[in-house]
Amino acid sequence: MKVCVLYSGGKDSNLALFKAWKEMEVACLVSLSPKSEESVLFHYPNVELVKLQAESLRIPLIMKPCSDDERGSLNALKEALKEAKELFGIKGVVTGAIRSTYQATRFRMICDDLGLKCFNPLWLRDEVSILREALDLGFEIVFTRIAGYPLSKDLLGKKITIETVKMLENMRKLVNPAGEGGEYETLVLNMPLFTKKLKIVDYEVVGREYDATLVIKKAELME
């Protein structure tokens, strides 16, 4: 089946892509670019870097700007999926949703309206097991945003390691280990489907101790 993958450049969408790649024909990636970190549905920090990731993946990318509110976000998603259906003949949509019924129900509603099937390969998986699987597969993942105690801005730009996973597991009562509640966001620098690795060349950290973002000013692909 031909599908598109809702792609943010973070760990969950990349793992969902990896799983879809093994069983389906991934025709394109679909990314939405919100106006700010206040977006209710979509990943914001450094979203423009999905263009480099798509180049490394050698998969066509459909990217649409969207507002931060729910209505504007869903309208933009619907237009992007319509384009994917017309250009690439997709029959389904793959997402990286894990436990967010808010996201999942809205994505499914749009898919139903367009006659597309919705696949959520990570749905209801244990969050820690997802992180461990990504690392076992060789994913290189860095923190790009933290939003809430006890996660602090010194994590930004650092890679997620097995020690990081243990730390997040120990914080389970305070934060979602996968960051699905917005506690943190990530960027994948490398994974098995990339033909080139993403390298961060220049960046700055903006924000407060427990609410900060890694703003990547320049990045490039390297062999």
CATH of domain 127-222: 3.90.1490.10
Query: Quick one: pLDDT at residue 200?
Result: 97
Q: Which residue type is seen at 49? A: L
Query: Quick one: pLDDT at residue 213?
Result: 94
Distance in angstroms (rounded) separating the CA atoms of residues 38 and 35? 8
Query: Quick one: pLDDT at residue 39?
Result: 56
Query: Quick one: pLDDT at residue 60?
Result: 98
Beta bridge partners of 213: 145, 206
Query: Quick one: pLDDT at residue 72?
Result: 87
Residue 21 in this model has a pLDDT that exceeds 60: yes
Residue 44 in this model has a pLDDT that exceeds 80: no
Domain ranges for the chain: 2-119, 127-222
Length of the chain: 223
Tell me whether strands 140-147 and 211-222 are parallel, antiparallel or unpaired: antiparallel
Cβ neighbors of 27 (< 8 A, separation 6 or more) are 2, 3, 4, 60, 84, 88, 89, 90
Cis ω for the linkage preceding 121 (within 30 of 0): no
Distance in angstroms (rounded) separating the CA atoms of residues 113 and 197? 37
Give residue-wise pLDDT tens across range 54-102.
Answer: 999 999 999 999 887 888 889 999 999 999 999 999 999 999 999 988 8
Query: Quick one: pLDDT at residue 41?
Result: 65
Q: pLDDT confidence of 47, banded at 50, 70, 90?
A: confident
Instruction: Tell me the mean pLDDT in the region 123-149.
Output: 96
Query: Quick one: pLDDT at residue 46?
Result: 86
Average model confidence (pLDDT) across the chain: 94
Instruction: Tell me the mean pLDDT in the region 38-47.
Output: 67
Query: Quick one: pLDDT at residue 102?
Result: 85
Q: Is 3.40.50.620 the CATH classification of the domain at 2-119?
A: yes
Count of C-beta atoms within a 10 Å radius of residue 94: 28
Beta bridge partners of 188: 141
CB 155 within 8 A of CB 214: no
Query: Quick one: pLDDT at residue 173?
Result: 92
Distance in angstroms (rounded) separating the CA atoms of residues 202 and 219? 7
- 187's torsion region: left (phi>0), alpha (psi -120 to 50) or beta? beta
Kindly report which listed range (49-58, 60-69, 152-161, 214-223) carries the lowest average pLDDT score. 60-69
Instruction: Tell me the mean pLDDT in the region 197-219.
Output: 96
Query: Quick one: pLDDT at residue 40?
Result: 57
Give residue-wise pLDDT tens across range 108-131.
Answer: 999 999 999 999 999 999 999 999
